[in-house]
């Protein structure tokens, strides 16, 4: 079984891929090339469900709690900053959804999508270079493996069976369609 930090790193890779697909679709929209709004909606839904509900949910409800219990002084400032960024991401996803409603506003969508992409790429870098190494220092191997099991239970409860795989399937379809 993978340790929790490996699970989160793997999810980061999927989120980065989704951001690359978003940038490619958005590039087409700004150039006024034909864009399937259903693809944009599906991708924004993916980001809301996978990046926020699933990934950020695991961090907020499980990892952050364990880290602050292990070392409040070291973990709290990092966790507090990441929580602010999670909220900023939710706000930007809501903006993207708003701009996808008829009539589609490509420039406004583009602005929100670029801001979201910038935020998430910096956020993921922070988690990969600060948060996850901190977790590997502060938590034992057994704690990280048990946290991984808790992640699986969380996914099943919050997203339902097979949803994680279905979201990865959607990402693969969009990746293929947009040659990313």
pLDDT at 12: 98
Tell me the mean pLDDT in the region 82-93. 98
pTM of the model: 0.95
Closest CA to 59 of 83, 77, 81, 84: 83
Taken in order 24, 28, 31, 37, is the CA torsion positive or negative? negative
Residue in the structure block whose two tokens are 């993978």: 2
Closest CA to 9 of 60, 49, 55: 55
Residue 46 has pLDDT above 90, yes or no: yes
Residue in the structure block whose two tokens are 């958005």: 26
Whole-angstrom CA distances from 86 to 35, 57, 102, 123, 125 are 28, 10, 27, 9, 14
- Under a CB-based contact definition with an 8 Å cutoff, are residues 75 and 67 in contact? yes
DSSP string, 12-81: HHHHHHHHHHHHHHHHHHHTT----HHHHHHHHHHIIIIIIIIIIHHIIIIIHHHHHHH-HHHHHHHHHH
Task: For 128-140, write each residue's pLDDT tens digit.
Answer: 999 999 999 999 9
DSSP 129: I
Task: For 97-148, write each residue's pLDDT tens digit.
Answer: 999 998 988 889 999 999 999 999 999 999 999 999 999 999 999 999 999 9
pLDDT at 56: 98
- Give the rounded percent of residues in the chain with a pLDDT score beyond 90: 86
């Amino acid at each position: 079984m993978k340790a929790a930090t490996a699970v989160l790193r793997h999810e980061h890779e999927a989120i980065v891929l989704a951001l690359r697909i978003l940038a490619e679709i958005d590039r087409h929209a700004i150039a006024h090339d034909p864009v399937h709004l259903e693809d944009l909606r599906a991708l924004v839904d993916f980001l809301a469900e996978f990046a926020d509900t699933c990934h950020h949910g695991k961090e907020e409800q499980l990892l952050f709690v364990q880290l602050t219990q292990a070392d409040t002084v070291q973990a709290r400032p990092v966790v507090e900053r990441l929580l602010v960024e999670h909220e900023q991401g939710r706000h930007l996803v809501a903006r993207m959804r708003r701009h996808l409603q008829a009539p589609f506003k490509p420039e406004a969508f583009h602005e929100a999508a670029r801001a979201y992409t910038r935020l998430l790429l910096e956020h993921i870098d922070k988690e990969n270079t600060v948060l996850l190494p901190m977790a590997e220092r502060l938590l034992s191997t057994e704690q990280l493996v048990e946290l991984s099991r808790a992640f699986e239970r969380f996914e099943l409860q919050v997203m339902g069976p097979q949803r994680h795989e279905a979201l990865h399937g959607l990402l693969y379809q969009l990746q293929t369609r947009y040659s990313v």
